[in-house]
C-alpha cells in the first residue's frame, strides 16, 4: 500500500510512541475495572418496567397501603395434621419470624392465623394452634377447624392435608438473596432434625417471588463463573488454531479482558444495575473483541507472506491503514444494531443492555485501533509457517480443513448462484409467513432448571395449594366507611365469583369472606348463614366484635383504616403470561363494564398484573427494537458504502437468518420470552459483521483489478472466489469463535440464557452462511454499481468516556449514659406503684384515636363505667360514636383469682342481642388498640406475681426525678401469656405513677412504648388523662384522651348486668 494516503499518515502519526498507546489504554482499563466490586445486581421482575410505569407506581402505592410484598414461601410436605408436624410448623414459624429481614407481623402459617367460629351465638376468635396440639385427636380438631374456614383451606394448608405453607414477607427486597439462603438453611436444618428424631422422611421447599428474586442472582452468578471462563478458553483455542500461534491466543485474551472488564466497570461506575439478561453481555463482548482481533491479526500475518517486507513498524501501519475501514464499518453497524435496542426499549434491562453493548463495541474498536497495533509494534509476532502455507498454497489438498471448507463453500455458491438465491428467497417467504405465529410467553420460575429445588417447590405449591402467583384488585369507594355499604360488598362478591369462573384462578379472597365467616359464626356456625350481613350497622358492628379478640393489624392486607379501600386477592395456578393474559384482559373488561360506577371503582395490580404489562411490552418492544436496529444499520451501511443499495445488500444475510429463526421458533412452538427476545438486535449487531466484511472485500478486489492497467478483465467468479482464502477464512474463524462463545450458553442451567445462546447460535450460523453464499451469489447475478470503484473515506473514530461516581457514607453515633444508683429497694417502689389509689368506682368519657402507619385515623367516643367489688372488677364500655356502632356495649368481669377465667359480652344494637365472646388472653389487644387487656386491667400498674424487678437507677425524665425499673417475667409461660420478654418503666418519685413504659416482645425485639402525656389529681385521685402508645412492629399508634372523670358519683351495680345491656 502506498504511504501517501490519509489513513497511512494518520496511523503513522498515531504510532510514533507505541508505549504510550499501551500505557494510556491500560490506565483507562484499570480505572474502569476498579469499579467492578461496586456492581449491584437486580434480579427483580419489576426491574423490567420503567420506574415511572403507571402499573409499577400503582403497585408501590398499594404496597405502602396494604403492606403487600413479594414473599418467601416455605412448603412442608408431610402428613400435616399430626401433633409432631404441627409443632414443627410452629417452631419453624417462630424461627423465621426472628430473622432480621423478615417482617415478624407479616409471617403467615397455621401457627399465626386465627380461627373464627360460633358457640351458642358467640363469636370465638382464637389461634388455630393455641394450645399447641399434643395428641392426634387435638391435631384432628385443627384439621376440622381449617376445613370449616374456607379462607385457609387451600391457602396456608392444602385441601388434602399434605402440604402446609409458611409465608414470610420481607423488609428489604434488595437483600432477599441473603434472606432466602437463611430461610432455606433453617428449613433444611429443622427438617433433618425432625426426620432423625421421628424416623420420618418429610420434605421442605422454599419458593415464592421473594425466593426467586433472592436465589436468582446467586444462581446466575454460579452459572456464569463457570461459563465465562470456558467461553474465554474456547475463544483462545480457536484463535490459536486459526493462526497456529500461542501468542495470537494471548493477544485475543488481552483484547477480551480489556473490553469486557472495562465495559462492566463503566456500567458499575454509572450506577446501572446488573440485571438477569446482563449476564449475556460478557459473552457478546468476547465475540466482538475477538472478531476485530482475528481480522487485524489475519491481515498482519498475510502481509508477512511477502518476503520483501520487513518486520517493522511500517508493517503494522500498513495493516491498520488497510483494515481500519472494514473494522470501523463493522463496529459502527454493530453499534447501530445495539443502539436500536437502547432507543426502542422502555425496559431498563434491555435499554441498558443495548447501551453498554454499544459502549463495549466502541471500546473494542478503540482498543483494536490503539492497544493491539501498539503491542504488535513492540512484540513483532511472526506468522507461523503453517498459517502462511494455508494462505500461499493454491493446492487445496495442502491447505488445512478450514481453508478447504470455505473455498469449497465459495465454489458451490458461485457455481449454483441462482439456486442459492432461490433457496434464500424461499427461506425469507416461509419465515415471513410462519414467523407471525410466534407466541409471547414468560414465567419467572422457568428461569431455573427443572432439577432445581426452587423449581420443584414452585410446582409443589401450585399443584397442592391455591398457588404463589397473586393478582390484587384494589376496590375504592368514594367515602369514608364506604365498604360498610352492603351494595358495595355485593359488587365485590360478584367480582370474586366472576374471577373464579376461570380455571387458572384458584381462589379469590377479600374482606367479604371474613364478614361471611363472622356472620356464620354468630349464627351458631350454620353453613346457610355464610352470606354477607344485610345492613350497614351490622357490618360495622361485626368488625367491632372481632376487635374484641383480634388485633388492630389483622385486616391490614384486606381493608384500609377508613374502610374506604379494600383489596381483593386472586391466586393463580401459574405465572405464565400466555395462560394469564386472557384472564387479566377479561377482568379489565368486566371491571370497566360491570363494576365501576360513580360510587365504587377497581384497579388491578399485584405480581400477575405487573408481569402482564412488562411481558406484553416485551413482545411489542422486541419487534420495535428490531425495526429501529435494521433502519440504523441500513443508514450506517449506506453512508459508509455511499450507496442505499449497498445498505440493503448488507441487511439481506441478517434478515434471512432472522426470518429462519422466527420460522423455527414458530414451527417448534418456542415462545418469545426474556431469552429469545434479545436475540434479534444482537444477531443484527453480530451478523452484520459478516456481510460488511464480505461486501468491503469484494469491492476491494474489484478496485484492485481495475487499478492494474493493461491486465485483461477477470471473470467475475474468479474475482469473487479470491474472497474466500483470506477474508473468508478469517470470517470462518470469526463465526466459529462467536458460535462457540454463544454455544457455551447452551450448557447454561439458566434457562433464558440457554434459550438465548441457542437462538443466537442459529442466527449467527445463518448470517455467516448467507454472507458466504447468498450475498456473493446476488452480487454475481445483479452486478450492483456500488461494487465498482468506491473512493476511500476517512472515518473519525468514536471515543467513549467513562463516567465515575463517588459514593460517600456517614456513620451515626449513639451514646448512652448510665443511671446513678438509688438506695431505695425495688420491692418498695413496686409496692408503692400497686398501692396508688384508683377509686372503687369511676365514670369517665374516653376518646380513642387509632392511627395506622400511613397516618390514617379511626376515632371512637365512649363512656366507661368501672366498679370494683371484693374479688372482681367490672367494666362497661359504651360506644357513642361513630354512628354505625352507637350504643354497642362491651362488658367485662375481671376476676382476681387466676383460676377463674374472665367473662366478656358484647351487645350489638343491630341484632339487639348480647353475645358472649371468648375471654381474651392477657396479651391480646383491646378492641383494636395497642393496649392489651392486661394493660387496661392494671391501669398503669404492675402485677407483682408476674415479674422479677430490678432497679436500674434514678434518672431525669422531662424535668422530673424518676426511678428506672426493669421487669422480666418470672417464667416462659408468663412471658408467652403477656407477649413481653421484658419491659423497662420510669416511675415518678412524687406520686408513684408510671410515666413511660418500654416493652420488648418475646423475641426481645422492641415492641411498643406507653407514654403518660397528661396527669391530673381529680377528687383526690391521680388520674391519667392522656395516654399514647407507639407500636414499633406495626407502625400503629393509639391515643386515649379521658375527660369528665368522676369518682364521687357511685356507679350502680345493676348496670353491669348482662340483661341490662339490651335495655339501654
Work out the pLDDT band at 801, boundaries 50, 70, 90. very low
Within this chain, do residues 649 and 716 fall inside the same structural domain, yes or no?
Answer: yes
pLDDT at 50 over 80: no
- Rounded mean pLDDT of 991-1018? 91
Q: How many domains does the chain have?
A: 2
- Residue ranges in 70-208 assigned as alpha helix (H): 83-97, 136-147, 176-198
Work out the pLDDT band at 399, boundaries 50, 70, 90. low
Residue 566 lies in a domain: no
Residue 816: its pLDDT value, please? 36
The domain that holds 888 is classified in CATH as 2.50.20.10
Within this chain, do residues 782 and 840 fall inside the same structural domain, yes or no?
Answer: no
Q: Which residues of 650-665 are buried (b: 16+ CB within 10 A; e: fewer)?
A: bbbbbbbbbbbbbbbb
Within this chain, do residues 336 and 383 fall inside the same structural domain, yes or no?
Answer: yes
> Model-level pTM?
0.73
Are the C-beta atoms of residues 578 and 439 closer than 8 Å to each other? yes
Within this chain, do residues 781 and 879 fall inside the same structural domain, yes or no?
Answer: no
Render pLDDT for 291-338 as a digit per residue (tens, 0 to 9). Answer: 888 888 888 888 887 777 777 788 889 889 888 888 888 888 888 878
Q: Which residues of 886-924 are buried (b: 16+ CB within 10 A; e: fewer)?
A: ebbbbbbbbeeeeeeeebbbbbbbbbeebbbbbbbbbbb
Q: List all residues 6 or more positions away from 923 whose beta carbon is below 8 Å from its beta carbon.
A: 932, 933, 934, 976, 977, 978, 979, 980
Within this chain, do residues 1017 and 886 fall inside the same structural domain, yes or no?
Answer: yes
Within this chain, do residues 912 and 1033 fall inside the same structural domain, yes or no?
Answer: yes
pLDDT at 212 over 80: no
State which of 66-75, 178-187, 280-289, 789-798 shows the largest mean pLDDT.
178-187
Residue 78 lies in a domain: no
- In angstroms, the CA 572 to CA 580 distance is 8
Residue 464 lies in a domain: no
- At 616, list the grid cell: 406484553
The conformational region for residue 212 under phi > 0 = left, psi -120 to 50 = alpha, else beta, is: alpha
Work out the pLDDT band at 1054, boundaries 50, 70, 90. confident
Residue 430 lies in a domain: yes
Mean pLDDT (the chain, rounded): 83
**Percentage of residues in the chain with pLDDT exceeding 90?**
29
Within this chain, do residues 760 and 668 fall inside the same structural domain, yes or no?
Answer: yes
Render pLDDT for 244-290 as a digit per residue (tens, 0 to 9). Answer: 888 888 998 999 999 999 999 999 999 998 887 787 788 788 878 88
389 burial (CB, 10 Å; 0-12 / 13-18 / 19+) is middle
pLDDT at 30 over 50: yes
The domain that holds 11 is classified in CATH as 1.20.1640.10
- At 531, list the grid cell: 352470606
Residue 812 lies in a domain: no
pLDDT at 713 over 60: no
Work out the pLDDT band at 738, boundaries 50, 70, 90. confident
pLDDT at 800 over 50: no
- Rounded mean pLDDT of 470-474? 90
Render pLDDT for 91-120 as a digit per residue (tens, 0 to 9). Answer: 999 999 889 888 888 889 999 988 888 776
- In angstroms, the CA 606 to CA 584 distance is 11
pLDDT at 875 over 70: yes
State which of 50-54, 723-727, 826-830 shows the largest mean pLDDT.
826-830
CB-side neighbour CA atoms (13 Å) of 778: 26
**Percentage of residues in the chain with pLDDT exceeding 70?**
91
pLDDT at 1041 over 70: yes
Residue 814: its pLDDT value, please? 32
CB atoms within 10 A of CB 229: 11
Residue 169: its pLDDT value, please? 86
Work out the pLDDT band at 1040, boundaries 50, 70, 90. very high
Work out the pLDDT band at 505, boundaries 50, 70, 90. very high
- Rounded mean pLDDT of 648-663? 89
Within this chain, do residues 963 and 1014 fall inside the same structural domain, yes or no?
Answer: yes
Residue 749: its pLDDT value, please? 79
- Rounded mean pLDDT of 186-213? 87
Residue 605 lies in a domain: no
pLDDT at 863 over 90: yes
Render pLDDT for 883-919 as a digit per residue (tens, 0 to 9). Answer: 878 888 888 888 877 677 778 888 888 777 777 776 6
Within this chain, do residues 910 and 1042 fall inside the same structural domain, yes or no?
Answer: yes
* Whole-number Cα distances in Å, 276 to 46, 196, 749: 12, 39, 13
Residue 499: its pLDDT value, please? 95
Residue 807 lies in a domain: no
pLDDT at 371 over 90: yes
Residue 513 lies in a domain: no
Closest CA to 1048 of 761, 839, 813, 747: 839
pLDDT at 803 over 60: no
Residue 728: its pLDDT value, please? 82
pLDDT at 186 over 60: yes
Closest CA to 39 of 348, 273, 218: 273
Q: Considering 787, 815, 850, which residue would you say is the last residue of a domain?
A: 787
CB atoms within 10 A of CB 414: 22
Within this chain, do residues 739 and 847 fall inside the same structural domain, yes or no?
Answer: no
Residue 449: its pLDDT value, please? 81
Residue 397: its pLDDT value, please? 57
Residue 1019: its pLDDT value, please? 92
Instruction: Tell me the residue range of the domain where 381 lies.
Output: 6-42+228-443+618-787
Higher local confidence (pLDDT), 814 or 124: 124
Are the C-beta atoms of residues 188 and 211 closer than 8 Å to each other? no
Residue 138: its pLDDT value, please? 93
Are the C-beta atoms of residues 731 and 694 closer than 8 Å to each other? yes
Within this chain, do residues 755 and 904 fall inside the same structural domain, yes or no?
Answer: no
Within this chain, do residues 730 and 835 fall inside the same structural domain, yes or no?
Answer: no
pLDDT at 807 over 60: no
- In angstroms, the CA 804 to CA 813 distance is 30
Amino acid at each position: 500500500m502506498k504511504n501517501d494516503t490519509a489513513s497511512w499518515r494518520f496511523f503513522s502519526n498515531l504510532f510514533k510512541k507505541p508505549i504510550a498507546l499501551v500505557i494510556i489504554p491500560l490506565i483507562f482499563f484499570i480505572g474502569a475495572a476498579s469499579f467492578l466490586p461496586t456492581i449491584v445486581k437486580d434480579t427483580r421482575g419489576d426491574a423490567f418496567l420503567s420506574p415511572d410505569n403507571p402499573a409499577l407506581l400503582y403497585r408501590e402505592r398499594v404496597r405502602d397501603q396494604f403492606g403487600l410484598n413479594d414473599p418467601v414461601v416455605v412448603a412442608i410436605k408431610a402428613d400435616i395434621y399430626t401433633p409432631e408436624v404441627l409443632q414443627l410448623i410452629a417452631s419453624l414459624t417462630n424461627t423465621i419470624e426472628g430473622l432480621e429481614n423478615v417482617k415478624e407481623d407479616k409471617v403467615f402459617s397455621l401457627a399465626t392465623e386465627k380461627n373464627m367460629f360460633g358457640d351458642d351465638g358467640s363469636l370465638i376468635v382464637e389461634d388455630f394452634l393455641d394450645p399447641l396440639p399434643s395428641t392426634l385427636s387435638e391435631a384432628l380438631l385443627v384439621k376440622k377447624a381449617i376445613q370449616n374456614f374456607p379462607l385457609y383451606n387451600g391457602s396456608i394448608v392444602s385441601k388434602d392435608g399434605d402440604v402446609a405453607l409458611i409465608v414470610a414477607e420481607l423488609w428489604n427486597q434488595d437483600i432477599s438473596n441473603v434472606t432466602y439462603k437463611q430461610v432455606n438453611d433453617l428449613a433444611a436444618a429443622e427438617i433433618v432434625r425432625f426426620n432423625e428424631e421421628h424416623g420420618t422422611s418429610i420434605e421442605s421447599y422454599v419458593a415464592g417471588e421473594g425466593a426467586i428474586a433472592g436465589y436468582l442472582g446467586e444462581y446466575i452468578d454460579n452459572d456464569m463463573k463457570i461459563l465465562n471462563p470456558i467461553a474465554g478458553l474456547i475463544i483462545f483455542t480457536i484463535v490459536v488454531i486459526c493462526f497456529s500461534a500461542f501468542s495470537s491466543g494471548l493477544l485475543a485474551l488481552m483484547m477480551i479482558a480489556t473490553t469486557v472488564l472495562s465495559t462492566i466497570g463503566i456500567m458499575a461506575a454509572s450506577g446501572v444495575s446488573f440485571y438477569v439478561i446482563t449476564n449475556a453481555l460478557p459473552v457478546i463482548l468476547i465475540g466482538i473483541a475477538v472478531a476485530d482481533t482475528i481480522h487485524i491479526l489475519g491481515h498482519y500475518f498475510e502481509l508477512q507472506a511477502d518476503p520483501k517486507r520487513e518486520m517493522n513498524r511500517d508493517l503494522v501501519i500498513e495493516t491498520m491503514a488497510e483494515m481500519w475501514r472494514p473494522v470501523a464499518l463493522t463496529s459502527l453497524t454493530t453499534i447501530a444494531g445495539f443502539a436500536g435496542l437502547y432507543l426502542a426499549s422502555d425496559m431498563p434491562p434491555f435499554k441498558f443492555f443495548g447501551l453498554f453493548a454499544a459502549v463495549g463495541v466502541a471500546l473494542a474498536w478503540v482498543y483494536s485501533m490503539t492497544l493491539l497495533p501498539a503491542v504488535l509494534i513492540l512484540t513483532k509476532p511472526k506468522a507461523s509457517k503453517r498459517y502462511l502455507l494455508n494462505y500461499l498454497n493454491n493446492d487445496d489438498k495442502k491447505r488445512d480443513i478450514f481453508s478447504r471448507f470455505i473455498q469449497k463453500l465459495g465454489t458451490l455458491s458461485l457455481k449454483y448462484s441462482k439456486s442459492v438465491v432461490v433457496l434464500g428467497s424461499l427461506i425469507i417467504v416461509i419465515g415471513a409467513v410462519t414467523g407471525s405465529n410466534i407466541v409471547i410467553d414468560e414465567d419467572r420460575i422457568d428461569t431455573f432448571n427443572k432439577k432445581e429445588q426452587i423449581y420443584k417447590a414452585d410446582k409443589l405449591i401450585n399443584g397442592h395449594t391455591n398457588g404463589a402467583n397473586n393478582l390484587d384488585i384494589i376496590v375504592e369507594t368514594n367515602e369514608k366507611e364506604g365498604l360498610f355499604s352492603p351494595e358495595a360488598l355485593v359488587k365485590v362478591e360478584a367480582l370474586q365469583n366472576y374471577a373464579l369462573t376461570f380455571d387458572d384462578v384458584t381462589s379469590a379472597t377479600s374482606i367479604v369472606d371474613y364478614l361471611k365467616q363472622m356472620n356464620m359464626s354468630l349464627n351458631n356456625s350454620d353453613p346457610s348463614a355464610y352470606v354477607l350481613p344485610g345492613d350497614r350497622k351490622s357490618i360495622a358492628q361485626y368488625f367491632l366484635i372481632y376487635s374484641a379478640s383480634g388485633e388492630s393489624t389483622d385486616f391490614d392486607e384486606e381493608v384500609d383504616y377508613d374502610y374506604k379501600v379494600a383489596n381483593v386477592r386472586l391466586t393463580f395456578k401459574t405465572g405464565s403470561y400466555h395462560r394469564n393474559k386472557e384472564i387479566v384482559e377479561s377482568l379489565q373488561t368486566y371491571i370497566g363494564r360491570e363494576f365501576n360506577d360513580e360510587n365504587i371503582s377497581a384497579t388491578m395490580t399485584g405480581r400477575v398484573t405487573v408481569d402482564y404489562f412488562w411481558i406484553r411490552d416485551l413482545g411489542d418492544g422486541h419487534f420495535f427494537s428490531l425495526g429501529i436496529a435494521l433502519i440504523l444499520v441500513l443508514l450506517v451501511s449506506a453512508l459508509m458504502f455511499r450507496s442505499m443499495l449497498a445498505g440493503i445488500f448488507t441487511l439481506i444475510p441478517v434478515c434471512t437468518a432472522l426470518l429462519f429463526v422466527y420460522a423455527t421458533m414458530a414451527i417448534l412452538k418456542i415462545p418469545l420470552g426474556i431469552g429469545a427476545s434479545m436475540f434479534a438486535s444482537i444477531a443484527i449487531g453480530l451478523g452484520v459483521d459478516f456481510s460488511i466484511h464480505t461486501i468491503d472485500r469484494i469491492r476491494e478486489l474489484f478496485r484492485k483489478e481495475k487499478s492494474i492497467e493493461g491486465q485483461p478483465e477477470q471473470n467475475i467468479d474468479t474475482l469473487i472466489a479470491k474472497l474466500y482464502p483470506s477474508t473468508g477464512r478469517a470470517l470462518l474463524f470469526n463465526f466459529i469463535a462467536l458460535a462457540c462463545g454463544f454455544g457455551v450458553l447452551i450448557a447454561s442451567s439458566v434457562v433464558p440464557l440457554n434459550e438465548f445462546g441457542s437462538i443466537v447460535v442459529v442466527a449467527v450460523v445463518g448470517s455467516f452462511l448467507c454472507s458466504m453464499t447468498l450475498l456473493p451469489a446476488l452480487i454475481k447475478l445483479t452486478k450492483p454499481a456500488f461494487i465498482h470503484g468506491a473512493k476511500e473515506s476517512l472515518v473519525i473514530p468514536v471515543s467513549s468516556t467513562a463516567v465515575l461516581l463517588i459514593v460517600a457514607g456517614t456513620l451515626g453515633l449513639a451514646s448512652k449514659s448510665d443511671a446513678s444508683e438509688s438506695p431505695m429497694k425495688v420491692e418498695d417502689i413496686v409496692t408503692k406503684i400497686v398501692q396508688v389509689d384508683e377509686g372503687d368506682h369511676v365514670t369517665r368519657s374516653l376518646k380513642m384515636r387509632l392511627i395506622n402507619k400511613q397516618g390514617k385515623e379511626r376515632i371512637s367516643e365512649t363512656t366507661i363505667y368501672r366498679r370494683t367489688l371484693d374479688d372482681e372488677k367490672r367494666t362497661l364500655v359504651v360506644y357513642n360514636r361513630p354512628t354505625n356502632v352507637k350504643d354497642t356495649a362491651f362488658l367485662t368481669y375481671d376476676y382476681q383469682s387466676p383460676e377463674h377465667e374472665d367473662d366478656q359480652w358484647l351487645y350489638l344494637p343491630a341484632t339487639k342481642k348480647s353475645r358472649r365472646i371468648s375471654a381474651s388472653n392477657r396479651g391480646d389487644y383491646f378492641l383494636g388498640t395497642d393496649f392489651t387487656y392486661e394493660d387496661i386491667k392494671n391501669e398503669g400498674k404492675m402485677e407483682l406475681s408476674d415479674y422479677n424487678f430490678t432497679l436500674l437507677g434514678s434518672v431525669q425524665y422531662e424535668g422530673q426525678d424518676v426511678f428506672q425499673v426493669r421487669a422480666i417475667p418470672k417464667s416462659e409461660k408468663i412471658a408467652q401469656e403477656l407477649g413481653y420478654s421484658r419491659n423497662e418503666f420510669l416511675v415518678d418519685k412524687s406520686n408513684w405513677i408510671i410515666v413511660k413504659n418500654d416493652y420488648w416482645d418475646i423475641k426481645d425485639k422492641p415492641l411498643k412504648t406507653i407514654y403518660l402525656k397528661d396527669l391530673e389529681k381529680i377528687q383526690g385521685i391521680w388520674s391519667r388523662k392522656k395516654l399514647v402508645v407507639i407500636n414499633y412492629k406495626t407502625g400503629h399508634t393509639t391515643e386515649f384522651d379521658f375527660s369528665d372523670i368522676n369518682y364521687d358519683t357511685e356507679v350502680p351495680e345493676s348496670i353491669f348486668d348482662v340483661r341490662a345491656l339490651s335495655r339501654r
